[in-house]
Protein backbone atom coordinates (compact mmCIF):
# COMPACT_ATOMS: atom_id res chain seq x y z
CA UNK A 1 0.00 0.00 0.00
CA UNK A 2 1.16 3.48 -0.73
CA UNK A 3 0.67 6.39 1.61
CA UNK A 4 -1.37 9.15 0.01
CA UNK A 5 -1.41 12.59 1.51
CA UNK A 6 -4.25 14.44 -0.13
CA UNK A 7 -5.61 17.84 0.61
CA UNK A 8 -8.20 16.49 3.01
CA UNK A 9 -5.59 14.67 5.09
CA UNK A 10 -3.29 17.69 5.22
CA UNK A 11 -6.19 19.98 6.09
CA UNK A 12 -7.36 17.70 8.90
CA UNK A 13 -3.91 17.26 10.46
CA UNK A 14 -3.07 20.95 10.29
CA UNK A 15 -6.44 21.95 11.72
CA UNK A 16 -5.98 19.52 14.61
CA UNK A 17 -2.50 20.90 15.24
CA UNK A 18 -3.79 24.47 15.31
CA UNK A 19 -6.60 23.40 17.65
CA UNK A 20 -4.08 21.86 20.05
CA UNK A 21 -2.03 25.07 19.97
CA UNK A 22 -5.13 27.12 20.85
CA UNK A 23 -5.99 24.78 23.73
CA UNK A 24 -2.44 25.14 25.07
CA UNK A 25 -2.74 28.90 24.80
CA UNK A 26 -6.09 28.85 26.59
CA UNK A 27 -4.75 26.80 29.47
CA UNK A 28 -1.71 29.07 29.72
CA UNK A 29 -4.08 32.01 29.95
CA UNK A 30 -5.94 30.34 32.79
CA UNK A 31 -2.81 29.53 34.76
CA UNK A 32 -1.04 32.83 34.15
CA UNK A 33 -4.06 35.11 34.73
CA UNK A 34 -2.81 36.49 38.05
CA UNK A 35 0.72 37.34 36.91
CA UNK A 36 0.29 40.77 35.28
CA UNK A 37 1.58 41.31 31.74
CA UNK A 38 3.11 37.86 31.35
CA UNK A 39 -0.03 36.25 29.83
CA UNK A 40 -0.31 39.03 27.26
CA UNK A 41 3.24 38.49 26.05
CA UNK A 42 2.82 34.72 26.10
CA UNK A 43 -0.38 34.75 24.05
CA UNK A 44 1.10 37.25 21.62
CA UNK A 45 4.20 35.17 21.09
CA UNK A 46 2.08 32.05 20.51
CA UNK A 47 -0.45 33.73 18.22
CA UNK A 48 2.10 35.15 15.78
CA UNK A 49 3.51 31.73 14.73
CA UNK A 50 -0.04 30.32 14.86
CA UNK A 51 -1.21 32.94 12.35
CA UNK A 52 1.75 32.24 10.06
CA UNK A 53 1.08 28.49 10.13
CA UNK A 54 -2.61 29.11 9.52
CA UNK A 55 -1.98 31.30 6.48
CA UNK A 56 0.57 28.88 5.03
CA UNK A 57 -1.42 25.73 5.76
CA UNK A 58 -5.14 25.84 6.38
CA UNK A 59 -5.91 29.28 5.02
CA UNK A 60 -4.64 28.53 1.53
CA UNK A 61 -5.73 24.89 1.28
CA UNK A 62 -9.40 25.58 2.02
CA UNK A 63 -10.04 27.29 -1.33
CA UNK A 64 -8.60 24.48 -3.43
CA UNK A 65 -10.25 21.89 -1.18
CA UNK A 66 -13.62 23.58 -1.57
CA UNK A 67 -13.34 23.58 -5.37
CA UNK A 68 -12.20 19.97 -5.41
CA UNK A 69 -14.97 18.68 -3.15
CA UNK A 70 -17.75 20.54 -4.90
CA UNK A 71 -16.81 19.13 -8.32
CA UNK A 72 -16.14 15.65 -6.95
CA UNK A 73 -19.66 15.06 -5.64
CA UNK A 74 -21.62 16.40 -8.62
Q: What is the pLDDT of residues 43-61, one digit of tens each?
A: 788 888 888 888 887 777 7
Q: Does residue 55 lie within any of the structural domains? A: yes
Q: Does residue 39 lie within any of the structural domains? A: yes
Q: Does residue 59 lie within any of the structural domains? A: yes
Percent of the chain beyond pLDDT 90?
0
Q: Does residue 2 lie within any of the structural domains? A: no
Q: Which residues of 7-27 are buried (b: 16+ CB within 10 A; e: fewer)?
A: eeeebeebeeebeebeeebee
Instruction: Supply the pTM of this predicted model.
Output: 0.66
Q: Does residue 16 lie within any of the structural domains? A: yes
Structural domain for 53, as ranges: 7-72
Question: How many domains would you assign to the chain?
Answer: 1
Q: Does residue 1 lie within any of the structural domains? A: no
Burial of 2 per CB tally in 10 Å (0-12, 13-18, 19+): exposed
Whether 1 shows a pLDDT value over 70: the answer reads no
Amino acid sequence: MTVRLGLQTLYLHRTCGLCVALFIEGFLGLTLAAQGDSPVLTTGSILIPWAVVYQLAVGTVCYSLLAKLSTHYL
